[in-house]
Structure 1
Amino acid sequence: MRAQEITFLNLIQGEKQFQVPLYQRTYSWGRDQLLRLWEDVGELVDQHRAGEAVAPHFLGSVVLAPGQIQAGGVQKWLVVDGQQRLTTLMLAFTALRDQLKDSGDPRGAERVHRQILVNEYQDALDHYRLLPTQADRQAFTACVASAPQAGGGGNIGGAYRFFLGALAEGQEAAASKDWLEAVENVLKGLLSIVEITAEPGDNVYRIFESINNTGVGLSQSDLLRNYVFMLLPQRGERVYQELWLPMQQSLGPKNLELLVWLDLVVRGHNKTKQSEIYREQQKRLQPLAGDEKALQHEIAQLSERAQRFLRIVEPARERSAPLRAALERLATWGGQTHYPLALHLLDLVDAGSTSPEEAAEALQYVESYLARRLICQTPTAGINRIFMEAPKDLETDRPAAEAVRRFLSGKRRRWPSDEELRTAIRSKPFYWGGRPPQRSYILRRLEESYSPTEPVDFAKASLSVEHVLPQRPAQAWFDLLADEAEEGQSPQELHDLLVHTLGNLTLTGDNSKLSNHPFQRKQQILDSSALRMNLEIASSKRWGKAEIMARADRLWERAVELWPGPIGGFRPAGEELSSWTELRAALVAMPSGTWTAYGDVAELIGSHPVPVGAYLAANPTVIGAYRVLNSEGKISPSFRWADGSDRMPPQELLKSEGVRFDRYGRANRSQRLTAAELATLLGKDVAQQTSNDPLPDGENTEAAERFRSQLQEHWPEAVAGVTTTLDFWRRQGGYLTYGRHEETSCFPMLDAGTSHRTHLMWPLALYPVTGTAEVVFQYLKDRSPFDDTEQRRELLQRLNKIDGIDLPEAKLELRPSFPLLVFAEHSEAICEALDWFVHTAALDLARRA
């Protein structure tokens, strides 16, 4: 085998085709991997446009084996390893081509298409420079060929849509024609790949096995340790025993690696990636080679910094009470975003340059910055970079707290003002913001602001977030909301705009008791709560829009006291509302073959259907704007393409993508994406009700009886079919669990784990009151073997053969549903699909055992 470092452009140039063998898994990169790559690309683009000397970013290796050379000169290469990187870059170029075309640069679009994506003079499959495995082939070629189905469900379509959105937003933010050109140059020439080529006759599958079954390699900190002690032949043993080993033992491998990276960041190397720690530290220490005393001093400094870092991850070690409290709050918040700035502040404290109290106040501003952004659902892109820049960019001639506040208040750092905070608390779906522990933390801090004489011990209390106005309300709640609905607004639409806002949420240990009971019953339970915020809610006589908005304003007043705002406290002129940024991101995230409604988008971004419609009418070039329809599923009469557009009418375009319309011009409801589904596609942690997810305690007789009686009461025609199916499931080795909510959901569970590890999965969730069966692709995509898109697609297709089931392929990442009434006549066919599910899981178990 031979290896060479090469740019992506040089790798793919010529009449070549890269074929992914059938034994490899399908394309699997998700949003997190794509985001990391795009952040690296973004940094390179910024440096390139600034005229800086840019070192290529090492992307990894690609292992190739020579295939056939056909008449006509196309060289076939088997992609033994590295298909994820190759496919990702090809999809990035596909999106770049389409963005160039939409931006009025057809020549640039044609250049990318011919130079990167296709073999111009070849036909059929040979036309494509990359040929993924068969399961991904149709989705990939649809993107390259600009077919209407481009950007469908699954990981291939998701990656294409991710890059399409990232390029559109990046170009708008840059407001410059040369930005896309810089992206093209970076993707072609500044992403470095090691090309490893096998020789003819090598056993390709054995190479693949060898690469993918290797042991754990050396970490970046391991490499640094080996390098440093190679330079310490005389002092090495003593330095290792006295400095390095205690540091390594106190931190552990992961935190040691993190410290070595943070050490670079607080020294001003704020663009260093964690994958480049060893190279950057080696470059920094190289001039000290031959000076063992100086190297020992460097390790002593790192050891001292390790003790400060431990105070960040274990705040109980901090002696100052105010500083300890500030560090504890940030540790409870979670994540590592604040680490560079916190470590820099502790450096200042230990050096005597600032006081612990001053550092604590500075960290309060950090907490405020994070909390306000979460409440306002400000996009998180770039936030890590902001905190990495802080140690270098803080003003040194001011007190630390003032310097931190001024830094975070800077232009484009997006610290929401008091007014933005008030608007968000009143309208944003807070329940979909951040991670569940962070949502609970916000509510906890608001509860603590009441300064109760007997505060709740949150460390011991088992509390969860409760919707006072329920997520699944009984009719009595809708009757109450009907009195407050605006003209043309249904009680359901008003409910959807209110239910997830902060004013409607609280903490409780009685979530299952509160359920979706009428407010009078909830009052009785909340009135016995130890939380002051719950006593305040219980004092209300009713709970509708007026009460939720009034509470939102009270919570805003407390939030402003808890979390001080930026200096100036206003949004800079010309800066766009984050709601419109989120709207555009949501429309880009929609797979082809789906539609949504103005009300769904309004619910997602915390707005109202009217301004959403007005924004899209004024901006018809927004990607996916034609996919937003009215509540009936019809094209809005006010929607128009931009003047001069040659695009086909919106309904025809949607039909070409696979959206079905009835004779009245209404889009198929099964293909509609709700606000919750849009939020899921955006990567938001859309928490399902804990009470609606499977319980860990197996079959519960009381819950099973509740499920049966509710099914009998609401859908008696389905009882026999559901019972037959669930009995079949048990005979196949599965079991049943139930939710603890008043509507007692049922989950057919399967443990497909090994003797060493539990591996629970469930294909369906049955709801006996609402009368639906959810197919939980959203959960299955994280569970082998259904993390493979093709396996989920097979389940969908088997179910769709049954009359009454119509699951859109675009929802392979979500939780589409079908009526329980299908069980009445087709339980045997459903059992056949479930039999395939169990058999597929068993084969996977045998492979993993």
Structure 2
Amino acid sequence: MAVTDADHYTGQITTRVDGIGHVLADSKLEIPDYQRSFSWSDDEVRELWDDVLKAIRDNVPDYFLGSMVTTAGAERDQVIDGQQRLATVSILFSAMRDILKSRSDERAEDIERDYLGRKNIRTREWQPKLKLNSDDNAIFQLIIEGRFSEAKRQATRDSHKALVKAYEILHEKMEQAIADLPATSWQAPLVELHEYLLSSANIIRVSVPSESRAFVIFETLNDRGLNLSTADLLKGHLFGTAGGRVEECKYSWAQAMAPFSGDDRSSTDQFLRHYWSSREGVSRVKALFSQMRDSVSTSEEAVALASELGKAAPLWASMFERDAAFWENYPDSAKESLEVLGALKVEQCRPLLLAVMQKFPKQEIEKVLELLISWSIRWFVVGGSGAGVTERLYAEAAKAVSLGEVTTASEVSARFIERVPSDQEFEKQFAVMSVRRGWLARYYLHQIEKYRRGEDQPEFISNSDVTEVNLEHVLARNAARSDWPAFSDDEFTDMKLLIGNQCLLRQRVNEGLGNGPFASKKGPLSQSGYLLTQEIAQCADWTPDKIWARQERLAVDAVKIWVRGV
């Protein structure tokens, strides 16, 4: 071997310090299919390049790239941790090979043979040094075989595009490094980089004879500084604990991760926290993995948790997509509630909604959705008792649903009734509130319009697209002061965003209104199909008193729409 330390044995576990170039040259490696896809960002690729170049410039004899954990496979060693660095350095060697080849330098063949792969002498099939998981491998192999243009055309997934971008960045960096050098010495920077990656850019390789032990090492290394997500750690613990049932775990884990694209760590960790809160009550990010780990100590428990996650993840993902299969037979009002919860960033209710989606029949789920949106609007208008208190309340209710202690929307409602703002509080605040966000004002007015008409989904207002339905400020934001003599200076400034001053209009009608006085707006407002808009046109003039009176009427309706309980 090239630059290495002596092997260190702990039972059957072997550790070795080696240049990452030697690791690629001397091994046949494979990323298992259950591992996440390639995910390094542009910044991470550039950081690797910059760090290695700085180490070369500073004559650092041994630059540490991190660790990798492998276990023996039938034909290739399986990479449990370290794929991002291995894939990126392989792409770097691919770019180096292509630059050398483009200038007819025979060292291109050496780079390909030593670090990327070669064709079988009998079958002529490509035999790569490194294979990625099934999602990424086809694109990766095109790159390392020297077919980058084809790889770029076929890149569809986020991870594919990340692989392509990594090549483009590293190819450009190397071209810049050799630019303007004479024909006799342009190869020198590439040769120096190759030699440094071969023997001085070191990685600690931990070789473990079985997957279960590999995942234990993987978890231990995280405690010593690896930047791993809760999902990474939990996967390692489940696989390490599953023993002979690890294949069952892998299958269920793949189902759990299927709704998440690429390396969507934030979403997967958010899902795990919401799932765990729905089972155990409120869970904090820092303690989440330790809590989940401590609940799994046998292979049966590992398989059971993986299976539960596989069933729960698609439901959780459905909360963010109104067209998901789960909501196919639900009314538009339920789908609209999902969108409003997302727009309001009401995350605290997710554990409860997840538990309800798992346990309740369709009719009860619809009722709970109505409650969630009503409570969210009430807390949004009045103000809640703090995000922490609300989160705990939702999580405890979710736990009760998961345990079967709460089985109906009415029973859910009973747990919240004392915490949700009362009708009196809600009406009082609604009657004086300003609404700066256009989508929220449209939502309020759409819901009140539907209530006034006694119809759940009247056809003529079902489209709330801003390109079809506009929001009109009767006292316009850019109105001329002289056109509104009934308003004091403070009223002219402060009343424009009151919900009582806002109404819905078809886009084509609203385009012609402009910022003129009320007299110029009465005609178009009277011709609107919206009842709430027509009533404004019935006023002889638009004054502060008219705005306050209309806002108070809207507040009375709001109490009846966003109800406190069932």
Structure 1 residue 216: Cα displacement: 9.9
Aligned counterpart for 2:366 among listed residues 330, 340, 360: 360
Structure 1 residue 264: Cα displacement: 1.1
Cα distance in 1 between the residues matched to 2:226 and 2:294: 25
Aligned counterpart for 2:426 among listed residues 415, 418, 421: 421
Q: Give the aligned residue type for 2:270.
A: L
Cα distance in 1 between the residues matched to 2:398 and 2:485: 56
Map of 1:228 onto structure 2:
238
Q: Deviations over 1:63-87 (max 9, x none)?
A: xxxxxxxxxxxxxxxxxxxxxxxxx
2:231–2:272 contact (8 Å) kept in structure 1:
yes
Going from structure 1 to structure 2, the CA distance change for 1:237 and 1:398 (only over 3 Å counts) comes to: closer
In the alignment, is residue 493 of structure 1 matched against residue 490 of structure 2? yes
Cα distance in 2 between the residues matched to 1:324 and 1:535: 26
Going from structure 1 to structure 2, the CA distance change for 1:506 and 1:376 (only over 3 Å counts) comes to: farther
2:484–2:517 contact (8 Å) kept in structure 1:
no
Q: Give the aligned residue type for 1:263.
A: Y
Map of 1:405 onto structure 2:
413
Cα distance in 2 between the residues matched to 1:532 and 1:460: 19
Cα distance in 2 between the residues matched to 1:474 and 1:237: 72
Q: Give the aligned residue type for 2:247.
A: E
In the alignment, is residue 505 of structure 1 matched against residue 502 of structure 2? yes
Aligned counterpart for 2:446 among listed residues 444, 447, 461: 444
Q: Give the aligned residue type for 2:239.
A: F
Going from structure 1 to structure 2, the CA distance change for 1:236 and 1:398 (only over 3 Å counts) comes to: closer
2:352–2:397 contact (8 Å) kept in structure 1:
yes
Cα distance in 2 between the residues matched to 1:216 and 1:502: 51
Larger radius of gyration: 2
Q: Deviations over 1:745-794 (max 9, x none)?
A: xxxxxxxxxxxxxxxxxxxxxxxxxxxxxxxxxxxxxxxxxxxxxxxxxx
Going from structure 1 to structure 2, the CA distance change for 1:323 and 1:244 (only over 3 Å counts) comes to: farther
Going from structure 1 to structure 2, the CA distance change for 1:518 and 1:478 (only over 3 Å counts) comes to: closer
In the alignment, is residue 563 of structure 1 matched against residue 562 of structure 2? yes
Going from structure 1 to structure 2, the CA distance change for 1:389 and 1:438 (only over 3 Å counts) comes to: farther
Q: Calculate percent identity across the aligned residue pairs.
A: 22
Map of 2:274 onto structure 1:
262
Map of 1:11 onto structure 2:
none
In the alignment, is residue 344 of structure 1 matched against residue 349 of structure 2? no
Cα distance in 2 between the residues matched to 1:219 and 1:232: 20
Going from structure 1 to structure 2, the CA distance change for 1:472 and 1:324 (only over 3 Å counts) comes to: closer
Q: Deviations over 1:802-845 (max 9, x none)?
A: xxxxxxxxxxxxxxxxxxxxxxxxxxxxxxxxxxxxxxxxxxxx
Structure 1 residue 477: Cα displacement: 4.5
Q: Give the aligned residue type for 1:553.
A: E
Cα distance in 1 between the residues matched to 2:417 and 2:511: 42
Q: Give the aligned residue type for 2:374.
A: S
Structure 1 residue 530: Cα displacement: 4.7
Aligned counterpart for 1:249 among listed residues 220, 238, 258: 258
Structure 1 residue 547: Cα displacement: 1.9
1:416–1:566 contact (8 Å) kept in structure 2:
no
Q: What secondary structure does 1:232 align onto? A: helix
Map of 2:42 onto structure 1:
none
Which structure is higher in RCO with an 8 Å CA cutoff and minimum separation 6? 2
Q: What secondary structure does 1:506 align onto? A: strand
Q: Deviations over 1:348-407 (max 9, x none)?
A: 12xxxxx32122112211111111222335565433333233223679666522122222
Cα distance in 2 between the residues matched to 1:397 and 1:218: 36
Q: Deviations over 1:335-360 (max 9, x none)?
A: 223211101111212xxxxx321221
Going from structure 1 to structure 2, the CA distance change for 1:548 and 1:379 (only over 3 Å counts) comes to: farther
Map of 2:519 onto structure 1:
520
Map of 1:786 onto structure 2:
none
1:268–1:392 contact (8 Å) kept in structure 2:
yes
In the alignment, is residue 280 of structure 1 matched against residue 291 of structure 2? yes
Cα distance in 1 between the residues matched to 2:399 and 2:252: 27
Map of 1:835 onto structure 2:
none
Q: Give the aligned residue type for 2:421.
A: P
2:427–2:559 contact (8 Å) kept in structure 1:
no
Map of 1:806 onto structure 2:
none
Cα distance in 1 between the residues matched to 2:270 and 2:438: 25
Aligned counterpart for 1:470 among listed residues 458, 476, 487: 476
2:256–2:312 contact (8 Å) kept in structure 1:
no
Cα distance in 2 between the residues matched to 1:453 and 1:512: 22
1:322–1:357 contact (8 Å) kept in structure 2:
no
1:371–1:442 contact (8 Å) kept in structure 2:
no
Cα distance in 1 between the residues matched to 2:438 and 2:307: 39
Q: Give the aligned residue type for 2:532.
A: M
**Structure 2: runs of 5 or more not aligned:** 1-224
1:465–1:507 contact (8 Å) kept in structure 2:
yes
Going from structure 1 to structure 2, the CA distance change for 1:562 and 1:320 (only over 3 Å counts) comes to: farther
Q: Give the aligned residue type for 1:258.
A: Q
Aligned counterpart for 2:378 among listed residues 364, 372, 376: 372
Aligned counterpart for 1:304 among listed residues 292, 311, 316: 311
Cα distance in 1 between the residues matched to 2:278 and 2:476: 47
2:463–2:469 contact (8 Å) kept in structure 1:
no
Cα distance in 2 between the residues matched to 1:376 and 1:477: 34
2:348–2:387 contact (8 Å) kept in structure 1:
no
Structure 1 residue 464: Cα displacement: 4.9
Map of 2:140 onto structure 1:
none
Q: Deviations over 1:556-586 (max 9, x none)?
A: 233223211258xxxxxxxxxxxxxxxxxxx
Structure 1 residue 300: Cα displacement: 0.8
1:417–1:566 contact (8 Å) kept in structure 2:
no
- 1:434-833 equivalences in 2 (<5 Å): 437-449=439-451, 450=453, 451=455, 452-459=458-465, 461-481=467-487, 491-508=488-505, 509=507, 513-566=512-565
Q: Deviations over 1:431-460 (max 9, x none)?
A: 3xxx65444422332233334453341247
Going from structure 1 to structure 2, the CA distance change for 1:560 and 1:265 (only over 3 Å counts) comes to: same
Going from structure 1 to structure 2, the CA distance change for 1:453 and 1:417 (only over 3 Å counts) comes to: same
Q: What secondary structure does 2:541 align onto? A: coil
Cα distance in 1 between the residues matched to 2:380 and 2:421: 10
Cα distance in 1 between the residues matched to 2:232 and 2:405: 38
Going from structure 1 to structure 2, the CA distance change for 1:456 and 1:238 (only over 3 Å counts) comes to: closer
- 1:325-340 equivalences in 2 (<5 Å): 325-334=333-342, 335=345, 336-340=347-351
Map of 1:318 onto structure 2:
326
Q: Give the aligned residue type for 2:523.
A: Q
- Give the TM-score normalised by structure 2: 0.52
Cα distance in 2 between the residues matched to 1:461 and 1:379: 37
Aligned counterpart for 2:399 among listed residues 362, 370, 392: 392
2:242–2:300 contact (8 Å) kept in structure 1:
no
Q: Give the aligned residue type for 1:260.
A: L
Q: Deviations over 1:190-249 (max 9, x none)?
A: xxxxxxxxxxxxxxxxxxxxxxxxx99322111211221122342323431x32123212
Cα distance in 2 between the residues matched to 1:340 and 1:445: 26
Cα distance in 1 between the residues matched to 2:477 and 2:226: 46
Give me the CA root mean square deviation: 3.1
- 1:20-169 equivalences in 2 (<5 Å): none
Going from structure 1 to structure 2, the CA distance change for 1:238 and 1:428 (only over 3 Å counts) comes to: closer
Q: How many residues get paired?
A: 327
Q: What secondary structure does 2:312 align onto? A: helix
Going from structure 1 to structure 2, the CA distance change for 1:436 and 1:282 (only over 3 Å counts) comes to: farther
